[in-house]
Amino acid sequence: MPHERLVIIGGVAAGMSAATRARRLRPDLEITVLEKGADVSYGACGLPFYISGEVASADELVVYTPEYFREKRDIQVLLHHEVVEIEPGRKLVHALREKSQPVAIPYDKLIIATGGAPALSIPGVDLRGVFTCSDLAGAIRLRKFLDERHTRRAVVVGSGYIGLEVADAFAKRGLEVLLLGRSPHLLEGFAPEICVKAEEALTAHSVRVAKSSTVQSISASQKSGELHVHHSAGTETAEVIVLATGIQPQVALAESAGVRLGPTGAIAVDNRMQTSANSIYAAGDCVETRHLVTGKPVYFPLGTTANKQGRTAGENAAGGHATFDGIVGTLATEIFGLEIARTGLNADEARTAGFQAASVTIETRSHAKYLGGHPLTAVLIWDRSSGRLLGFQVASQEGAAKRVDAAAVALHAGMKVADLPNLDLSYAPPFAGVWEALLIAAKEALNKSRH
Amino acid sequence: MPHERLVIIGGVAAGMSAATRARRLRPDLEITVLEKGADVSYGACGLPFYISGEVASADELVVYTPEYFREKRDIQVLLHHEVVEIEPGRKLVHALREKSQPVAIPYDKLIIATGGAPALSIPGVDLRGVFTCSDLAGAIRLRKFLDERHTRRAVVVGSGYIGLEVADAFAKRGLEVLLLGRSPHLLEGFAPEICVKAEEALTAHSVRVAKSSTVQSISASQKSGELHVHHSAGTETAEVIVLATGIQPQVALAESAGVRLGPTGAIAVDNRMQTSANSIYAAGDCVETRHLVTGKPVYFPLGTTANKQGRTAGENAAGGHATFDGIVGTLATEIFGLEIARTGLNADEARTAGFQAASVTIETRSHAKYLGGHPLTAVLIWDRSSGRLLGFQVASQEGAAKRVDAAAVALHAGMKVADLPNLDLSYAPPFAGVWEALLIAAKEALNKSRH
């Protein structure tokens, strides 16, 4: 009897986690990963640090090479293999090798990990000097462009965390940066009190910020090659433009194979990462997941989630039983040394989800003032009707990200605000205050609730 | 009708938290704090940083002055008032003002916050040059001694976290330091893999470490004033000695008033911080508390806990209803830049408590290697029989303390190891790895459990 065959489409985060987990459980499985690009298993969240030059070589971002997977884990990695069709009836995957050579690969179990791709609907996105920051190959092209050409002015389109990270990277390279965002706040999804800290950090480092600006098109001067960004409040000229306007799930392959999409437009999966199709799993930036605070499907593409989902899909495709129930919306970033992190819902999201949302903002310090503790802003969001914790956000030059983790666990556990003030969190003067920000905010919320 | 009178014995952490909370809820209450020393409301955990000189002035450690409490919060603070008797029958407290003048103070509600005091049973503890590091006045005397005299050699007796912090402070001042510990590991309560990191940090900074050494006595040379520490492995000579051999609950007052003590020897309280005596509450380092992992009483004196207990006692003494259910054993310290933190039980404690304890140790990094992430050691302890998380410990030059907080919340929530690998914890390359240490350790534990 031939070995059972597991085929995985996509080899970045979810795909390689799936392959690794399946191999661990099943030494006998024949595992093939089809990757359309030239790289697998790299730290996509590190791309801005490669663009800034803080990470010298792209190789440093690569966690494992295809050779490593082949030799050490007996996982067949086929680069430059773009899958063009899934045939569930015959359990076949059709790919084009090096863009031209057709290959048909049979599977017993299939995992779709096609990821996400930039949402690009602006005329002019294909002009020379216009980039995205969504994969390693693109980041290498962008840095080469910056290294080889005289660039003085940059426009970053998009005011989500990726846009801010790219603006930070450009400013560190000495570029004059304009950040153009469509929404009235930077960092949509964060509380206004946190957004304002991010904006202060940007403007303190000479990044110009234009909010509520919709980009209509990009054009280029034929002679100079200068680029012009035409937006709702005028036109900006620059030598380089990065579009960071969000990520869309890559679902075309799945959809045409009859795999069901969910309400968010991403692939629908159950908590075993199984799709609607027999023997087909999906994981990573191409799937939607459940938001454990709202209980509803959400599209929230992140590397950490992709790895967990991939691991779950890999285990189940290998005949095991693993579950991934969902996320609580944790997200962290750093802009010019300011850590910004959130978990759960913000007040607007909570109201939209039907909660009687209230929020409280507190100011404290990252650690004891007498040892140089930094100012720290925290926002706690809760449901007045049930008393349940709904979200927590922190901005500080120190310790914001790991501080929201405690709140993330509290969200997973469905804790109420009244459960928080007595949580036994760590304290010592070099890295905390006697009352942690989460506890202070919870006490404030309870005081507010009494009235 | 006269105002109701709340009297609080002790004005450091628990006492002032109680007073503040009571005042907030009851503007009409007459609140008096009797403090035998010269200070209230200071950061006792900051004392080692004052001794090292990192904190220049003792005033910086004082959070609020007695004047502040009097003027801003209408709380009467009586310094140099040592309470010598509680008369529950007549609801009277008898104190000595300035060590001689008897004062009798009536109460309607009483809160005992007499704290803890160093456990000193070694002959010679009263010699000149022998100190403890347990209160502000003592730290001021110690630093004055170091500033004014020629001291070259120091011995620290005690290898708990306070002993290590004092050794760190002395080494930073340029002293030759010997750390003498009774137990075979430094930092009793920590896993051996974590203890060894602490010892490496000490020896890398030229602190000599002698474990399994019991101190028998201290003597002084009459002429030179040199001190000699006589211990089980020999005699050491030094100009200054600090005893950091632990803290004992100060229960004499409570005991002679008929207030019941618990099995740990500290005052027994319910989860409202009420003692066995009518109208008498107790909080802080003089009480025992419940360990929420074992369900059993424990004496675990810490400033954070004292503040929470004080707040609870204050609210209840003021006629409110607040509860403090217990702790999960969280503790954090920093030794020469190495953060060390724990929560829950270690494997030995877990076995003693009747669990089928297993533990796993992992090595990872505090954040992405390509951005200079530091090595990080983590130990996870769990119960094989129920799958429940029992403890988590971390040592790293970065982020150890706030990393155990996520595990602390998981302990409060009674989570199982199987609940951990999918926790939605924060990630970004400057401050985390894609898989947090807690998740890696949990995955390892689950892998181990399968066999």
Query: CB within 8 A of A347, min separation 6: which ones?
Result: A191, A357, A358, A359, A381, A391
pLDDT tens digit string along A122-165?
999 999 999 998 889 999 999 999 999 989 999 999 999 999 99
Contact A330 B426 (CB under 8 A): yes
- In angstroms, the CA A6 to CA A18 distance is 10
Contact A55 B427 (CB under 8 A): no
Contact A426 B332 (CB under 8 A): yes
Q: Using CB atoms, pick whichever of B303, B305, B402 lies closest to residue A403.
A: B402
* Angle at CA of residue B406, ends B357 and A438, nearest 5°: 145
Q: Using CB atoms, pick whichever of A371, A409, A423 lies closest to residue B54.
A: A371
How is residue A90 annotated by DSSP?
Answer: T
- In angstroms, the CA B276 to CA B262 distance is 10
What's the pLDDT score for residue B350? 98
Q: What is the largest CA-CA distance in chain A?
A: 72
In one-letter notation, the amino acid at residue B120 is L
| Separation in Å, CA of A53 to nearest CA in chain B | 11
3-state secondary structure of B233: coil
Angle (deg, nearest 10), helices A437-449 and A400-412:
50
Q: Which two tokens stand for residue B80?
A: 């140099």
- In angstroms, the CA A252 to CA A450 distance is 52
Q: Using CB atoms, pick whichever of A46, A327, A368 lies closest to residue B46.
A: A368
Ordered strands of the B30-34 beta sheet: B76-78, B30-34, B5-9, B109-112, B280-282
In one-letter notation, the amino acid at residue A448 is K
In chain B, what residues touch A436 (CB-CB under 8 Å)?
405
Spell out a b/e string for B70-79, using b for 16 or more CB atoms within 10 Å of the CB, else e.
eeebebbbbb
Banded model confidence at residue A287, pLDDT cuts 50, 70, 90: very high
Contact B305 A424 (CB under 8 A): yes
Residue A355 has pLDDT above 90, yes or no: yes
DSSP letters for B79-130: TTEEEEEEETTTTEEEEEETTTEEEEEE-SEEEE---EEE---STTTTSTTE
Q: Where are the alpha helices (DSSP H) in A26-160?
A: 47-52, 66-73, 136-148
Contact B427 A302 (CB under 8 A): yes
CA distances, A335 to each of A48, A240, B86 (Å): 11, 20, 57
Contact between residue B213 and residue B220 where contact means Cβ atoms under 8 Å apart = no
User: Is B45 part of the annotated catalytic residue set?
Assistant: yes
Q: Which two tokens stand for residue A437?
A: 């920000």
Contact between residue B6 and residue B30 where contact means Cβ atoms under 8 Å apart = yes
What's the pLDDT score for residue A17? 96
How is residue B259 annotated by DSSP?
Answer: P
Q: How far is CA A275 from the centre of its chain?
A: 22
| Burial of B13: CB neighbours in 10 Å, binned 0-12, 13-18, 19+ | buried
In chain B, what residues touch A324 (CB-CB under 8 Å)?
422
- In angstroms, the CA B297 to CA A428 distance is 24
How is residue B261 annotated by DSSP?
Answer: B
Contact B339 A430 (CB under 8 A): yes
| Separation in Å, CA of A373 to nearest CA in chain B | 13
Of all residues in chain A, the percent with pLDDT exceeding 70 is 99
Q: Which residue of A has its CA nearest to B291?
A: A424
- In angstroms, the CA B151 to CA B245 distance is 22
| Separation in Å, CA of A16 to nearest CA in chain B | 14
**Beta-bridge partners for B34:** B9, B78
Q: Which residue of B has its CA nearest to A341?
A: B426
Q: How far is CA B237 from the centre of its chain?
A: 29
Contact between residue A115 and residue A33 where contact means Cβ atoms under 8 Å apart = no
- In angstroms, the CA B79 to CA B34 distance is 6
Nearest to B169 by CA among B186, B185, B154: B154
What's the pLDDT score for residue A449? 87
Spell out a b/e string for B136-152, using b for 16 or more CB atoms within 10 Å of the CB, else e.
bebbbebbeebeeeebe
pLDDT digits (tens), chain B, 451 positions: 568 999 999 998 999 999 999 999 999 999 999 999 998 888 889 999 999 999 999 999 988 899 999 999 999 999 999 999 999 999 999 999 999 999 999 999 999 999 999 988 899 999 999 999 889 999 999 999 999 998 999 999 999 999 999 999 999 999 999 999 999 999 989 999 999 999 999 999 999 999 999 999 999 998 888 999 999 989 999 999 999 999 999 999 999 999 999 999 999 999 999 999 999 999 999 999 999 999 999 999 999 999 999 999 999 999 999 999 999 999 999 999 999 999 999 999 999 999 999 999 999 999 999 999 999 999 999 999 999 999 999 999 999 999 999 999 999 999 999 999 999 999 999 999 999 999 999 999 999 987 5
Q: Using CB atoms, pick whichever of A327, A419, A427 lies closest to residue B424.
A: A327
3-state secondary structure of A267: strand
In chain A, what residues touch B292 (CB-CB under 8 Å)?
424
Q: Which two tokens stand for residue A3?
A: 């070995």
In chain A, what residues touch B13 (CB-CB under 8 Å)?
434
Of all residues in chain A, the percent with pLDDT exceeding 90 is 92
Contact between residue A199 and residue A106 where contact means Cβ atoms under 8 Å apart = no
Q: Which residue of B has its CA nearest to A61?
A: B370
pLDDT tens digit string along A229-285?
999 989 999 999 999 999 999 999 999 999 999 999 999 999 999 999 999 999 999
- Of the residues B194, B309, B409, B449, the best mutation for testing chain A's interface (the one with the most A CB atoms within 10 Å of its CB) is B409
Q: How far is CA A85 from the centre of its chain?
A: 27
Nearest to B177 by CA among B200, B202, B196: B202
Contact A429 B46 (CB under 8 A): yes
- In angstroms, the CA A18 to CA B356 distance is 32
- In angstroms, the CA B378 to CA B341 distance is 10
- In angstroms, the CA A333 to CA A397 distance is 11
- In angstroms, the CA A190 to CA A180 distance is 17
Helix (H) or strand (E) holding A351: helix A347-352
Query: CB within 8 A of A258, min separation 6: which ones?
Result: A88, A276, A277
3-state secondary structure of A446: helix
CB pairs under 8 A between A and B: 202
| Burial of A55: CB neighbours in 10 Å, binned 0-12, 13-18, 19+ | buried
Contact between residue B91 and residue B108 where contact means Cβ atoms under 8 Å apart = yes
The beta strand positions in A127-273, using DSSP E, are 130-132, 153-157, 176-180, 208-210, 215-220, 227-231, 234-238, 240-243, 247-249
Q: Using CB atoms, pick whichever of A308, A343, A402 lies closest to residue B431.
A: A402
CA distances, A106 to each of A7, A8, A31, A95, A349 (Å): 8, 11, 11, 11, 44
What's the pLDDT score for residue B450? 74
Query: CB within 8 A of A165, min separation 6: which ones?
Result: A48, A133, A333, A334, A335
What's the pLDDT score for residue A1? 57
Q: Which two tokens stand for residue B81?
A: 């008032």
In chain B, what residues touch A413 (CB-CB under 8 Å)?
409-410, 412-413, 415
- Of the residues B316, B392, B424, the best mutation for testing chain A's interface (the one with the most A CB atoms within 10 Å of its CB) is B424
Q: Using CB atoms, pick whichever of A368, A423, A426 lies closest to residue B43.
A: A368
Mean pLDDT of A156-183: 96
Its pTM stands at 0.96
The terminus-to-terminus CA distance of chain B in angstroms comes to 72
Q: Which residue of A has its CA nearest to B331?
A: A426
Spell out a b/e string for B392-409, using b for 16 or more CB atoms within 10 Å of the CB, else e.
bbbbbbbbbbbbbbbbbb
Query: CB within 8 A of A141, min separation 6: which ones?
Result: A131
In chain B, what residues touch A49 (CB-CB under 8 Å)?
370-371, 429
Q: Which two tokens stand for residue B99?
A: 């060590």
β pairing state of A331-335 and A338-344: antiparallel
- In angstroms, the CA B337 to CA B330 distance is 19
CA distances, B183 to each of A384, B157, B334 (Å): 50, 11, 20
Nearest to B382 by CA among B356, B403, B364: B356
Contact A422 B343 (CB under 8 A): no
The terminus-to-terminus CA distance of chain A in angstroms comes to 72
Contact B424 A304 (CB under 8 A): yes
Nearest to B412 by CA among A445, A293, A426, A424: A424
Q: Which residue of A has its CA nearest to B371?
A: A55
- In angstroms, the CA B119 to CA B121 distance is 7
Residue A451 has pLDDT above 80, yes or no: no
